[in-house]
Structure 1
């Protein structure tokens, strides 16, 4: 609830008034809670308090009126019961002085003239009415004392009943005031709980909004070209049919297609190298076999040559030995020739 600004007139001609109006305007504009919620909390609280006081006053007046009505009804019922009790149990005809109050003598009155009655109809004898006036005065005094005692008893009973009713009414008023106070406290607790709940909901909404923003930012970062290392982000087209260039500062490596192409090429190269190696091994094995055959042939030829040379040497040795034995060493020394040596110490 926004407050209207002061009109520019005599009230704002004074600098103090203008300053106060400007201060009130700033307090109203820069009040975040009032600007966001759009209500005047103080005015609403004042209205709530006025309604509570009005409700409490009406309730108190109703209680007083109800108490007065109940008291009147109780008095009327008590008076009715008392009159019924008097009419039933305290009749004048049943009292001891009924003959004085009602003019009875214990027997029905006779309407026949006294001159026509005989001795059997006599009601008052001589000497019977002596001190009758004194007796009537005493009976009247006793009746007055009884009535006064009954009045005092009734007054005491009425005062006790009134005191009890007053205590009950005070207790009821006290209970009603306690109920009103409890209702007021309950309303204040509910209002405080609503305010706390609204504040908690606002904080929770702000927290959830921040979480959603953080999650969105994290998702954007995680799915960005920088994090997923997309190779397309590092390529830029120059146009004009020129090949796309790679930005070095954004290049995060080769794509899976490029890696698979390289792997396939490497696999083809490995297969080709393996075939070449097998061919080379086959060629080397063939060359080794040929070399082995050539070496075996050379060894065989060399062995033949050696055998021929050995045969030639053996033949020459045999000839030399035959020459020595048959031509040169014809005179062989005997045993005596060898025995002549080393026969003495000199």
Structure 2
């Protein structure tokens, strides 16, 4: 009366177990400090980049392999389709011939009995005696079949003419194909000859270019040799002229007047010294230089004495400033030491008050201490 064998629905239990397993896995990830990583994992990212590149390369190789496989399969499929088409046509021809041999026999035609005695016709056997046959059973009448041999001969001649025409057409097509192949072969030969001629002309042009380049290089070399010869002769001429000028000039005669020359447009008595002919200064010029050098020495000593006095004044000023700085630093250290002593006293007072407060909390206020079970309720879930 009542159905008590209903199937138990365990989907809720499965869902609960799945959530519990997910919660356990999440807690293992969150509370495991050795496996938890803060920030970016560069090695993992680089590994992911390398894996992505490898995956893309493998996908490209797979696509190329698939393309080659598709091309091969298309070729095989086309060849298979062609073979199937040829086989289907052969099967149709066989079926047609078989149908003609079975369904369209000459002895099964309606006028087969009329062609019994004709050439090539099959004999018919009539089991009924002729005495029992009436006029309605007559099959061959006198006067029928006149001119059948001529008609058959005419049909055979027509068939021969048709076959001869087909054979001539086939021979004509073969001759045309042979002529086309011959013309194509001649055209290829002419193209090859043209290519050989063009290669020969190109080689001739290259050879002419090389000859022209060699001639140009020889001309340039000869021109360079001629320029070097002229330059060498010019330098030799200039050197000889310079030697001749040195020998015949006043530089080797040691003439004092040869080293001085009047300045154009200048006052009289101020000659210009020619450095290439000068032989030294006079005693008056030497004395003037010594006197000027002595004056410069005295001026340098005076300036050094002034600089020395200035440095001594600056040293004294720095020493006074250093003493003042040391005095201020000493006062600041004493003040800092006093502040540190006061701070130590204040910290000691705070520590004493803190100890008293801790003693009050531990001995007076909080007498019920929590057990280990109280602390285990925290951080027990990942949510």
Shorter chain as denominator, the TM-score bin is 0.3 to 0.5
- State TM-score, norm by structure 2: 0.32
Relative contact order (C-alpha < 8 Å, sep 6+): which is higher? 2
